[in-house]
């Protein structure tokens, strides 16, 4: 299983236009080593310096939104799409994952990627 295969299990959430609230409120997203490596490669390819969080704000959000969107980690993709990570401003996907589906995604995530 590749990270993209896992990400494909998560529905697409249409965020409220211009909203970056979760990126501003929840700090640096957690990520497994495989995601951190992808992020580092993306930063190098695009000539972006590695950034560090200030307070609760993710270092990769700006006025336009996420500047590392193609390689954002699982938790950013899951946010708003599963019962334990509901969007606090009410955005909902067409299809909300069930608790079992959410648990299965985390199971795959930690089984296949946490130790790499
Ligand atoms: S998930 Fe919700 S809080 Fe986060 S950017 Fe989208 S609309 Fe805003
Ligand atoms: S990586 Fe992108 S989507 Fe995730 S919290 Fe940071 S700015 Fe938001």
pLDDT digits (tens, 9 = 90+) for 47-62: 999 998 778 899 999 9
**27 pLDDT tier (thresholds 50, 70, 90):** confident
**40 pLDDT tier (thresholds 50, 70, 90):** very high
Q: Report the pLDDT value the prediction gives residue 116, as an integer from 0 to 100.
A: 53
Q: Is 43 in the pocket of ligand 2 (CB under 6 A)?
A: no
Ligand number with the minimum distance to the CA of 74 = 2
Q: Report the pLDDT value the prediction gives residue 84, as an integer from 0 to 100.
A: 93
Q: Which residues contact 74 (CB under 8 A, 6 or more apart)?
A: 3, 6, 7, 10, 31, 32, 35, 105, 109
State the Cα–Cα distance between residues 4 and 108, nearest whole angstrom: 12
State the Cα–Cα distance between residues 36 and 42, nearest whole angstrom: 10
pTM for the full predicted model: 0.92
Q: Is 16 in the pocket of ligand 1 (CB under 6 A)?
A: yes
pLDDT digits (tens, 9 = 90+) for 62-97: 988 999 999 999 999 999 999 999 999 999 999 999
Q: Report the pLDDT value the prediction gives residue 74, as an integer from 0 to 100.
A: 96
Calculate how far, in angstroms, residue 14's C-alpha sits from the geometric centre of ligand 1. 9
Work out the mean pLDDT of the chain and round it to a whole number: 93
């Amino acid at each position: 299983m590749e990270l993209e295969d896992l990400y494909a299990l998560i529905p697409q959430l249409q965020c409220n236009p211009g909203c970056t609230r979760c990126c501003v409120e929840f700090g640096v997203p957690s990520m497994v080593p495989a995601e951190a490596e992808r992020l580092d490669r993306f930063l190098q390819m695009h000539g972006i310096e590695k950034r560090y969080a200030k307070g609760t704000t993710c270092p990769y959000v700006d006025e336009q939104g996420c500047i590392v969107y193609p390689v954002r980690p699982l938790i950013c993709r899951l946010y708003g799409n599963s019962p334990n990570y509901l969007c606090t401003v009410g955005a909902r996907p067409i299809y909300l994952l069930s608790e079992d589906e959410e648990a299965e995604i985390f199971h795959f995530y930690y089984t296949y990627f946490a130790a790499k």
